[in-house]
Chain A
Amino acid sequence: MEFPIAWTIFKKEFIDTIRDRRTIIGMVILPLIMFPLIFMVMDRVMSSTDQKAREAMLQVAVFDQGNASGFRPYVGRQEAMELAEGLSREDIEDLIRNEELDGAYVFAPDFDAAVADRRSGRVTVYYKVTDTKIGRDRILEPLRQYGRDLLQARLDQLEVSEEFVTTVDIEERNVASQKERLAQMVGGFLPYMFILFCFTGAMYPAIDLGAGEKERGTLETLLASPAGRLEILLGKFGVVVLTGIFAACMSILGLYLGASQISLGEERMEDVMALLEPHSIALVLSLLLPLTVFFAGIMLSLSVFAKSFKEAQSTISPMIILVILPAAIGMAPGVELDSLTALAPILNVSLATKGIIAESINPLHLALTYVSLFVFAIISLVFSTFWFGREGVIFR
């Protein structure tokens, strides 16, 4: 093993790789723009959907059979809400389902009597809500206001204060730290993206440096040079790992840029900055490094086995599903890093990253995660070395 030769190969492969537009797209551009793009689209779509739901003219119908006549003015007081008249009670469900009507209030025949008797009057509210809660809230709002006024009248009659019916004064204090709240919000999503970029960032160079070189006819010339197979593999391995880690770093930078582009507010921005603390990033990257070595070993092995670039691409690309699946499981609520999940590669990185962001990671589980990742990385490296040394693989 001659390290200067492995270094020579690494330098050449690195120059060759960064001169390739496709690698730059996968390694720099995509990871860098993905978070800002996701944030921008989410921000635009959500604010536009909310605005639309708030401003949309709602058509509602009231079926009160003469009782609850005091309710109708409450509907009239709402912004962008009008009463639809002349509809049949039997048709309302169909009308709402077909979006010809937005809501309907059906008062029970004994509503007035029940209220007068100081009991609860029943009102059935029909609506169709599939996306935002805003539509439902707007439809319920006149009823809430009406109910509050009826209650106030009842209390006035009894000459008691509102506190009389408010038996418990609830004061909520959430002691979860900013980081914990943020970890709950994005803790599953971030490692998912980091892992994905590690994989996709390394994928193209792995294909190019293995099957690509084979197809171009340069691999045989390289193998005929004094460079040993281990030196060649290490040189290529280094570049594949570097591009994967670089893509993950770019995605972290993209996260920061994305967060600063949208109007998060000062408090949220502080949260994001807390997430990007150097020690958190260093810990996350230290998990991603052995994971990328694991990926690189598998991808390079498949790549050198393939006869052509196309064959390698069609073999390696579907592996994204195998990467996404455990990463997505890590996003599911209730899945935690424990002694068992810490041993499963990819899933352990996803869960450990969540824990790192929340600063609630168990050191033993983190240690187990490192052990598992290093073992898998070494197995992957040893296997690819053995695989690359087989003439049946190189000269298929």
Chain B
Amino acid sequence: MLKFGSCVNLSATEVAQGGSPLIDVQELSKTFKLSRRQQRELGKEKSAKTITALDRVSFQCQPGRVFTLLGPNGAGKTTALRIMATLMKPTAGTVKVNGHDVGKNPREVRHSMGSLTGSTGLYARLTPLEMLKYYADLYRLPPEKFRSRRDDLVARLDIGSFAEQRIGKLSTGQKQRVSIARTVIHDPDVVVFDEPTSGLDVISARNIVQLIKDCRQQGKTVIFSTHIMGEVSLLADDLAIIHKGRLLFNDTFKAFRKRMESRSLEDEFIRIVEEA
């Protein structure tokens, strides 16, 4: 029996709707050393030399499903995703992506992953086509595969009309479409979205939502972090609520709705966080 307000980690078999998990996070912890200035800014005592961003977090993500990581700012969502993307090293615990350990085989992990964040930038002095070629080369895509992926993405995302203009001269919406194409140019099995709609207008945000739905339809594993309730109800198959580095809830979104004690998702989320 799942209880809100407590940290519940379900095993893959309990959560899984499809095959074996593509992302397997076990007992993941991350602590950061604090500088004196940070200690002062955070109002920490002199003895507190570290801060815990993640505390024994475990979850699994299945192919063809959207795993949503929900939490307030500073909850540890970005840290968890950065560890998954091999940008940071865990202090303890293990993370496996597509069977590869993030610490032991970081290059293989990165090959099978695409990531898009709200703060993702583009090279303003390159054209969209140059940008796609650059990332295809980094992922060592064979020329034929690159051409077919490029043509497909340019057509699907309607990039053709501005494909050879400098990115710096494009509108926000056009840039967003280029970002999407860049994220999936190598056709990754796992796609990570870290607050991808923050700062975007409604139309650009809708493009992202559509991309996430497309990824799910294509059987990709999608991990999506947000603090926007509307996006959760629109996209989440599985939901994990994280607060102060600890998982407070981890189950299907359907299960979350069934167990809701409050009238709205937002109220329920606040209730869980406040109880923690």
Contacts and interface: CB of A to CB of B under 8 A. Distances in A.
A337 B23 CA distance: 62
B152 to A, nearest CB: 20
Interface stretch (B57-65, B85-93, B216-224, B255-263): B85-93
B145 to A, nearest CB: 15
Interface stretch (A8-16, A45-53, A89-97, A186-194): A8-16
A15 B110 contact: no
A20 B120 contact: no
Contacts of A224: 85-87, 110, 113, 115
A364 to B, nearest CB: 46
Contacts of B119: 217, 220
A238 interface: no
Interface string B108-147: 0011010101011111111000100011011110000000
A218 B121 contact: yes
Q: Most A CB atoms within 10 A — which of B125, B139, B182?
A: B125
Given A224-B110, A391-B89, A217 B139 contact: no
B3 interface: no
Given A395-B82, A395-B87, A217 B125 contact: no
Given A16-B123, A19-B125, A391-B89, A225 B110 contact: yes
Nearest to B89: A391
B138 to A, nearest CB: 4
Interface in A213-248: 216-218, 220-228
A16 B127 CA distance: 10
Contact of A218 (B111, B113, B123, B140): B123
A217 B121 contact: yes
B206 interface: no
A128 B243 CA distance: 81
Given A8-B134, A395-B82, A217 B111 contact: no
B44 interface: no
Contacts of B137: 5, 8
Q: Most A CB atoms within 10 A — which of B89, B111, B138, B182?
A: B138
A60 B15 CA distance: 107
B120 A395 contact: no
Interface residues of A, number: 25
Given A15-B130, A217-B121, A392-B33, A223 B87 contact: yes
Nearest to B166: A19
Nearest to B125: A19
A204 to B, nearest CB: 13
B110 A16 contact: no
Given A15-B126, A15-B130, A217-B119, A225 B135 contact: yes
A391 B115 contact: no
B86 A391 contact: no
A228 B140 CA distance: 13
B149 to A, nearest CB: 15
A225 B121 contact: no
Contact of B182 (A15, A221, A227, A395): A221
Q: Give 10 closest A-B pairs by Cβ, nearest first.
A: A217-B121, A216-B121, A19-B125, A217-B119, A8-B137, A225-B138, A218-B121, A224-B85, A226-B110, A12-B134
Given A15-B126, A221-B182, 10 more contacts: A5-B138, A5-B140, A19-B125, A217-B117, A224-B85, A225-B110, A226-B107, A391-B87, A391-B89, A392-B32
Interface of A: 4-5, 8-9, 12, 15-16, 19-20, 216-218, 220-228, 391-392, 394-395
